[in-house]
Amino acid sequence: IGFLRLFPSNVFILTLYRGLTMDWNQLEELRRNKGNLVSTNSFLSTTNDYEAACFFAGNGNVDRDYVSVIFEISVNTKVKHSIPFAKIDYQSIFKDEDEVLFSIGAVFRVDETEEIREHLWKVNLTLTQIEDEQWNILTAHLNPK
């Protein structure tokens, strides 16, 4: 599978964001798992635009049983990652979203969680080089020898 990574060559650490609403139990699980790894089981849409992520998260304006979460994702562009990701804003209907898409099986380390204000949290993640077993099965299926 060929994926393009269209980022400026002088950018070594790429910071991306994903905003969503989750229940408090899910946030607590992330907080308890600081330093541990989480993987995606689907494609993961992110953006370079913090404000866009806040919008998608609800900016803290959620029911009391839920919380707005901004994932701040650090990607070292000089490290060879086994999971492809691509800047796809040129393919998107929403050009202002500045979208970056991670493939299935991306593995992230949970670094920090921080309450920005009531009902709005930030979770720092770092893309790792660790391969996800589901990703390996998928690529083996798509690339038969």
Domain range annotation of the chain: 13-142
Nearest-angstrom CA–CA distance, 71 and 92: 21
Q: What is the Cα 122 distance to its own chain's centre?
A: 12
Longest dimension (CA), the chain: 53
Pick the CATH number of 13-142 from 3.90.176.10, 1.20.1440.230, 1.10.10.920, 3.30.2290.10: 3.90.176.10
Residues forming a β-bridge with 75: 14
116: part of which helix (H) or strand (E)?
Answer: strand 107-117
Which tens digit of pLDDT belongs to each residue from 50-90? Answer: 999 999 999 888 888 999 999 999 998 877 766 677 777 66
DSSP string, 81-118: -SS-EEE-TTT-S-GGG-EEEEPTT-EEEEEEEEEEET
3-state secondary structure at position 77: coil
Q: Is 102 or 72 the better-scoring residue by pLDDT?
A: 72
Q: Is 24 or 88 the better-scoring residue by pLDDT?
A: 24
| pTM over the 0.75 mark | yes
Q: Express as a percent the part of the chain with pLDDT over 70.
A: 74
